[in-house]
Structure 1
Amino acid sequence: MRIVEVRERTFPIASQIRNAFIDFSQMTLSLAAVVTDEVRDGRPVVGFGFNSNGRYGQGSLMRERFVPRLTGADPESLLDDTGLIDPHRAWDVMMSNEKPGGHGERSVAVGVLDMALWDARAKLEERPLYDLLAERHGDGSADRRVWVYAAGGYYHPGKGDQGLKDELQSYLDRGYTTVKMKIGGATLAEDRRRIEAALSILGPGQSLMVDANGRFDAEEATAYLRALEEYDLHWYEEATDPLDYEGTRAVAEARTRVPLATGENLFSHQDARNLALYGGLDPERDYLQFDCALSYGLVEYLRTLEALRPLGWAPSRFVPHGGHQMSLNIAAGLGLGGNESYPDLFQPFGGFPDGVRVEDGCITMPELPGIGFEGKSDLAEVCASLLE
């Protein structure tokens, strides 16, 4: 078999929201389709992939470097012993002639294509990706029930405390038990008022996360920490710049109880290992948020899991950023601790297949071939437009 062509297009996911660092008024993402010459049910098998919010589309990198390497390679070099696409071999081809380090934006471009290759591979085997992952990289059995939390609570023009409460309550009403809001984009006094407003709507078994998006230096992050420890929070996310391991360590050493979460803006297993070695995090109570769609894809994510395992980090402490179905499949197949979810934002790329509902904070993965994009009708329509 061979890859016939790779198509990609940039799509807007703009919104009038902001976090502590950026606004999303011009946000985009890349959608890619890997078209094969294999046919199932009378149609070519096509794998789809896209990147998470926050890093913009990467079409030029794909067109100039990574797609030509895929389509120009000897077709046999991309296949495993069964004669099907091997995402690991394809990854090696895409990353040929690339220097180590300096992960930047290329990790996003490769992550998009890697997602599409895994989607195609699972479709070729006519099985869900999580089932394939459990068999080949997990303990042999997938757990289709995945914990998810609702991400939102962005700063928005004209949105006061009641608007924040209404938004978060809508997530709780849809079955989520944990919700997340942004901090660091206002004064500490204002953020404390917003946090207290959010906490006021929570009932038994429900919790709140706060996310500073790397806005603070160590001193500012620790000042916020002293205030946050008055509250019963699920976690305090990205307190410092993602590469400021010393700052992360300072916050970790200053805290007494609030768990920390970080990692969504680290893009390689080497960076992840440095975080684990030097960031002062506790693998028994803290969380890691690496996002395969931003960090060279699942091939690299598997390396990250293996690199951190000897340092005490079990898969259950990984809760990926991004809110996409690829990470849901990884969570179900490899036993991760859960996944981020955007109930209303960045559509149609976020969310779940049609008919999937959140119950007691969890969803049950449907039995769809591949990643399951075709099971979400609005996303399926956008994917299909790429092939027209």
Structure 2
Amino acid sequence: MRIVDIRERTFPISSPIRNSFIDFSKMTLSLVAVVTDEIRDGKPVVGFGFNSNGRYGQGALMKERFVPRLLEAEPESLLDESGLLDPHRAWDTMMTNEKPGGHGERSVAVGVLDMALWDARAKLEERPLFDLLAERHGTGTPDPRVFVYAAGGYYHPGKGLQGLKDELTSYLDRGYTVVKMKIGGAPLAEDRTRIEAALSILGEGQRLMVDANGRFTGEQAVECLEAIKDYDLFWFEEPVDPLDYEGTRLVSERAGTLPIATGENLFSHWDARNLGLYGGMDPQRDFLQLDCALSYGLVEYLRSLKALGELGWAPSRFIPHGGHQMSLNIAAGLGLGGNESYPDLFQPFGGFPDGCTVEDGHIRMPQLPGIGFEGKSDLAKVCASLLS
């Protein structure tokens, strides 16, 4: 078998919202299709992939370097012993002639293609990706029931406190038990008022997360921590710059029982390892949010799981950023602690296949081949547009 074509298109996922660092008015992502010469049900097997929000589309990098390497490779060099597409060998091909370090935007370009390659591989085997992952890299038995939380609570022009409460209430009404809101983009006193408004709508068994998107210095983060640590929050997310391990350590040492979550903007297993070594985080209390779509894909994510596992981090402490079905499959296949979800934002790329509902903060993965993009009708139409 061989790859016969790879197509990319940049799509807008703009929204009039902001977090503490960026607004999303011009946000884009890259959608790719990896087309093979294998036929299933009368059609070529095609793998799809796209990047998470917040890092923009990477079509230029893909078209200049990574796609040509895949298409110019000897077809057999991309296959495993079974004669099927091997994402690990394809990853090695994509990264040929790339220097180590400097993970920047290329990690996103490779992550998008890696997602599509895994989608294609599972479709070639005619089974869900989470089932394949459990067999190859997990315990052998997947857990199709996955914890999900609802991400939102952005700064939105004219929304106000009632708008924030209405938004979070709508997520709770849809079955979520944990919701997330942004902080760090307003004065601390204002953010405390927003947090208290959000807490006021929670019922029994429902929790709130707060996310500063790396806005603070270590000292500022500690000041914020002291102002919010008595609110009984689910976690305090990305309090400092993702590479400020000293700042992370300062916050972690003072957090008490409040979990710290970070890692969505770390793009290699080396960066993840450094966080584990020098960030002062507690593997029994805290959470890691590494996002395969932004960090060279699942091939590199497996290395990160191994590197951090050696430092005491169990898979259950990983709850990926991004809100996409790729991480849902990883969570179900490898026993992660859950996954982020965007119930309303960044559509049609966020959310779940049609018919999947959130019950008691969890969804149950459907038995769809590959990642399952075709099970979400609005996303399936967009994916199909790359092939027309």
TM-score by shorter chain over 0.5: yes
2:302 and 2:255 mapped to 1: Cα distance?
30
CA distance in 1, matches of 2:209, 2:281: 17
> Contact 2:257 / 2:285 at 8 angstroms: preserved in 1?
no
Measure, in 2, the Cα distance between the counterparts of 1:312 and 1:64: 39
The answer as to 2:151 corresponding to 1:151 is yes
Partner of 1:374, secondary structure, is helix
Match of residue 322 from structure 1: 322
- Unaligned ranges ≥5, structure 1: none
**Cα distance per residue 1:53-84 (max 9 Å; x no partner):** 00000000000000000000000000000000
**Whole-angstrom distance in 1 between the partners of 2:31 and 2:255:** 40
* C-alpha contact 2:148 2:338 (8 A) present in aligned 1: yes
Runs of 4+ in 1 over 6 A off after TM superposition: none
2:234 maps to 1:234: yes
Aligned partner of residue 231 in structure 2, secondary structure: coil
Superposition deviation, residue 150 in structure 1? 0.1
- 2:296 — aligned with what? 296
Query: 2:387 maps to which residue?
Result: 387
Task: Say yes or no: does 1:350 pair with 2:350.
Answer: yes
1:108 and 1:114 mapped to 2: Cα distance? 10
State how far apart, in whole Å, the 1-side matches of 2:218 and 2:80 are.
47
Partner of 2:24: 24
Could you report, residue by residue, the CA deviation over 1:98-130 in whole angstroms, capped at 9, with x for unpaired residues? Answer: 000000000000000000000000000000000
- 1-structure distance, mates of 2:236, 2:128: 33
The answer as to whether partners of 2:266 and 2:290 remain within 8 angstroms in 1 is yes
Distance (Å, rounded) in 2 between the aligned partners of 1:312 and 1:239: 22
CA distance in 2, matches of 1:255, 1:372: 39
1:306 maps to what in 2?
306
In the TM superposition, 1:271-286 aligns within 5 A as 271-286=271-286
C-alpha displacement of 1:257: 1.8
Match of 1:4 in 2: 4
In the aligned structure 2, how far is the partner of 1:120 from the partner of 1:259?
37
Partner of residue 174, structure 1: 174
| Matches for 1:77-156 after TM superposition, within 5 Å | 77-156=77-156
Question: Per-residue deviation at 1:376?
Answer: 0.1
Deviations 1:348-376 (A, max 9, x none): 00000000000000000000000000000
Q: Deviations over 1:294-318 (max 9, x none)?
A: 0000000000001111100000000
Shift of 1:43: 0.1
Deviations 1:184-220 (A, max 9, x none): 0000000000000000000110000000000000111
What amino acid is the match of 1:303? R
Alignment correspondent of 2:366: 366
CA distance in 1: counterparts of 2:75 and 2:49, whole angstroms? 20
Secondary structure of the corresponding residue to residue 33 of structure 1: strand
Report the CA distance between 1:255 and its aligned residue.
Answer: 1.7
Alpha-carbon displacement from aligned partner over 1:107-158 (angstroms, at most 9, x marks no partner): 0000000000000000000000000000000000000000000000000000
Query: Within 5 A, what are the aligned runs for 1:248-287?
Result: 248-287=248-287
1:311 match: secondary structure: coil
- Tell me the distance in 2 between the aligned counterparts of 1:129 and 1:324: 13
CA distances 1:214-252 after superposition (whole Å, capped 9, x unpaired): 000011100000011120100000000000000000011
When normalised by structure 1's length, the TM-score is 1.00
Q: Which residue of 1 aligns with 2:211?
A: 211
1:160, 1:258 → 2: CA distance?
A: 27
Matches of 1:218 and 1:37, distance apart in 2: 53
Quick one: which amino acid aligns to residue 168 of structure 2?
Answer: L
Q: For the residues of structure 2 that align with 1:166 and 1:258, how far apart are their CA atoms?
A: 26
Cα deviation, residue 256, structure 1: 1.7
The match for 1:45 is: 45
Q: Give the whole-Å Cα distance in 2 for the aligned partners of 1:261 and 1:72.
A: 41
* Amino acid aligned to 1:172: L
**How much has 1:254 moved relative to structure 2?**
1.5
Q: Distance in 2 between matches of 1:231 and 1:311?
A: 30
Q: SS at 2:100's partner residue?
A: coil
**SS in structure 2 at match of 1:226:** helix
Q: CA RMSD, aligned part only?
A: 0.3
